[in-house]
Amino acid sequence: MKKFLKGVFLLYGIYAAIVISYFLLIADSSNLPNGYQGSAADPTTFMNDRQLELTYEYSKIRHIIFFLLTPFDWVFFLTILAVGFSVRFRNWSESVTKISLFQKGIYVFWLSVFTFIIMFPIDYISYQLSKSYGITTSTFVIWMKDQFIDFWLDYLFMVVLAIVVYALIKKYNKRWWIYAWVISVPFTVFLMFVQPVIIDPLYNDFYPLKDKELEEKILNLASKADIPAEHVYEVNMSEKTNALNAYVTGIGSNSRIVLWDTTLNKLNDSEVLFVMAHEMAHYVKKHIYMGMAAYLLISFIGLFIASKILEWAVKRFGQRLLIKGINDIASLPLLLLIISMLTFIQSPISNAFSRYLEHSADEYAIEMTNDKTAAISGFQKLTIAGLSEVNPPAIVKWLRYGHPTMLERLNFLENYDVKQTN
């Protein structure tokens, strides 16, 4: 195990050196493809020199952190297994109680606490980085509050996962993944239903739009899209960030379109209406349901593959790791490792599908508002507020972007009339 861990750390070190070298020395998102200079997508036309410099610096650092953290999770899970922490957590839980349900809860608690302790310095560095570039505005107290909410929500979901999955493994052995997927369908729908009314309010305050004049304009737009007015909400985000955002969440009677107050503060009414039309498109075009269907399909395939890899890995390495079998809770980090790796592998597919939906929403929004000027200026302001790259490296787009790049979005909008004529 020591030799194995040394090899893992060595490979991770080499990988980290490659990632850092690539983004600092090779990748260059400041150069636009030929033909885009001077267009609406050219950041030099709507950003000053200081904003450009901060954008390139911040983007490089964020990309490095992302590409270092993803395999870091895998190294972390492998270390927990190889050093024997997982087995110790299992033994501690079994020494406290003989009730399997409580054993799972205790095991997951120790695993969650250990994970929180290891990841806290990294999360804090990311928080300070975002704050130093003027993106995050949260005080340390507010940030810590969100960290603890994250911890307990993650713990709750992980306990449910552990109890259900390992009960199914114990009962059905090789077919557990099918029953786990079947149970995940109503569970996913339930989470989508309760998120807007129970989970989201834990982090922020939601309320109807305060600007009544703007509200009337949005209601008229919503009426054209046949959307109930109560689905439009404002959320207090200015105490946490300077970035702009809006999104659609929930399903059924709990579905709602949400605008950050930073978006309302920094965009004019025409720009806000385009953003609202974009979010209304998700509601009208049933993108939430399409996304849910895609997730369930991917999870079906993923659970099947994960079950096969888990069974093989436990047979191959279980004795060395002191894991008794696939129904041993000590194998949970191994299962999480497998799921994390499979999620990463399929991310280009899910991101591409998400980008397709987002582009479809852009098309709907410009057709509904017919205000190209507001759409372009709105996206440009969003780019400035978030210090977002206009033209990120291809690998970043594939693995990180669930939205089209700003180059693609702004170019589409600028040439919208031409495309419609053709």
The catalytic site residues sit at: 279, 362
Question: Edge-to-edge, what's the strand order for the sheet holding 246-249?
Answer: 206-207, 232-235, 256-260, 246-249
CB-side exposure of 39: number of CA atoms within 13 Å? 18
Residue 278, annotated as binding a ligand = yes
CA distances from 281 to 131, 219, 245, 361 (A): 33, 15, 15, 5
Residue 358, annotated as binding a ligand = yes
> CA-to-CA distance for 412 and 422, rounded, in angstroms?
14
Q: Tokens 């809006």 correspond to what residue?
A: 246
Q: What SS3 class is residue 322?
A: coil
Q: What SS3 class is residue 257?
A: strand
Interior angle at CA 364, CA 358 and CA 369, nearest 5: 125
Residue 282, annotated as binding a ligand = yes
> CA-to-CA distance for 377 and 375, rounded, in angstroms?
6
Could you tell me where the beta strands, DSSP code E, fall in 104-213? 206-207
> CA-to-CA distance for 276 and 317, rounded, in angstroms?
53
Query: Please, which residues have CB within 8 angstroms of residue 391's CB and are 6 or more apart in sequence?
Result: 29, 31, 32, 33, 36, 41, 405, 406, 407
> CA-to-CA distance for 16 and 22, rounded, in angstroms?
10
Type of residue at 311? E
Residues placed in the known binding site for Zn(2+): 278, 282, 358
Residues placed in the known binding site: 278, 282, 358
